[in-house]
Amino acid sequence: MSKSTSKAPSTEFDAKYGILDLNTPPRSPMCGQYKQSFAYYTLRSRLPVTLTSIIDSITKYKDELITEYGEDSREEIKNIIGSISKLKYQLQTDKALEPFVGNEPDREIWNNFIKNMNEEKNSFFKVCWLYAECYMYRRLSSFFENSQTLTNFDYFAKQKQNALINSIGCIEEILSVLQGIEISYDSFRLMLKLNLWGNRCDLSITSGKEIQLGNNPFDLLRSFDNKILIDNSKSVFECLKSENTNKPSIVEFVCDNAGYELFTDFVFADYLIKSKLAEKIRFHLKAIPWFVSDATINDLNWTFRYLQNQTIPILKEYGRRWQQLLNEKKFEIASLDYFWTSPYEYYRMCNINPELYANLSESRLVIFKGDLNYRKLIGDFSWSFTDPFTTCLRGFLPTNLVSLRTVKADLICGLLEGQAEKLFEIDQNWMTTGEYGTIQFMIQPTISAEAVITNSLSAQ
């Protein structure tokens, strides 16, 4: 589907593990077996660096951790570092995905998934990239969950917090604009674009390295106007304004990154409440540390506290305002659900987790943030660039939905004929830089959630 991502010559690794010097074939699952794919690059280069950086960070802050979590954590830290090193070795030598044997709340979900995998495809580079990457992050979390002292330790927290602290100049500028903004389609689209481009701040794509934003976010927005490849902003606006619906005015955010992006989620959510385009905003957050920078409940609470503790008046004001919206239940934290950290694509939700599917179906709009959510919406599958979004969703449509995504993986759908080819002429790596974005909307036909769940097998 994509142009070559790797120009490296064949290696002993490639020969040993059956790596093919090819792009992912059309209509095939993306996996690390294809050397010219971003999946191969991620598994071979990015993920080992991520694991190494975690080991280095734990080693660096070991004494602080022992002070905070007690002397008993000393030996557990040593054991966890050993477990992470083993996971890195298993990844780098294309070992099989092993069942979970600890106290993980979602152990059964994962073990059923692994049990039903094709044994010949059960290894890091041969299984679908989405499954391999999710497995690595889930396995990583299990090392801490199954300890006695470090159960609640978020090994990505410092990076996520720094991502917000380092963007404080942008944050102050945005809040100043938000405070005096007039309600209109133009201001709605501005807030939507702000939320879209907040997704560029993804620490997993940089293996945890900080991203510098500059000081004027609105200059950045204007500079990226011509890089929104699909822009269904008007349809999203009309969906929220429509009175021809029996859906309550609730908007769900399936969140992606903490730090600056989560801040832009709150900005957009605040705008939706203030403009009366929504009565309630519900945030779906990760139950465990995930893909380096994904947002957890602790990240949300930390963000509100951080803003409230600032001396700059407008930061303090919005920290208090958002906490008040949370207290009033106009902002709401959705019940934690391990489906978001499962390996499953979203078209399987109605079978695997029908309760979550039914809950989403009660709302007016679901906003899926970021690249991983996009990958789960359409699957790590080499669709044609021009395949319709509705085709690639494979029946997943609990309600109206929009995907806000900066393009950081070599899969996309819904482009115009010839659009991708022109982009490759500009930049061979346009699909993985995060410099292009999409606002892809899909309206739900008039059909009940029960009917969708009943008929879901036909979509698979």
Residue with structure tokens 């201001």? 187
User: Using one digit for the tens of pLDDT, what is the confidence trace for 102-117?
Assistant: 999 999 999 999 999 9
Residue 214 has a pLDDT of 53
Q: How far is CA 290 from the centre of its chain?
A: 9
User: Using one digit for the tens of pLDDT, what is the confidence trace for 277-293?
Assistant: 999 999 999 999 999 99
Answer whether residue 296 shows pLDDT above 60.
Answer: yes
On average, the pLDDT of the chain sits at: 92
Confidence band of 200 (pLDDT split at 50, 70, 90): confident
206 burial type by CB count under 10 A (0-12 exposed, 13-18 middle, 19+ buried): middle
What's the one-letter identity of residue 295?
Answer: A
User: Using one digit for the tens of pLDDT, what is the confidence trace for 299-311?
Assistant: 999 999 999 999 9
| 198 within 8 A of 404, measured Cβ to Cβ | no
From CA 392, how far away is CA 414, in angstroms rounded?
A: 9
| 373: phi then psi, degrees, rounded to nearest 5 | -60, -35
Q: Are 12-145 and 157-459 the same fold in CATH?
A: no
Residue 420 has a pLDDT of 98
Domain 12-145 grouped into CATH 1.20.930.60 = yes
The helix (run of H) or strand (run of E) holding residue 403 is strand 400-406
Instruction: Name the CATH topology of 157-459.
Output: Rossmann fold (3.40.50)
Answer whether residue 203 shows pLDDT above 60.
Answer: no
Q: Taking residues 253-271, report their average pLDDT.
A: 97
Domain extents in the chain: 12-145, 157-459
User: Using one digit for the tens of pLDDT, what is the confidence trace for 208-234?
Assistant: 444 454 557 777 788 888 999 999 999
Answer whether residue 460 shows pLDDT above 80.
Answer: no
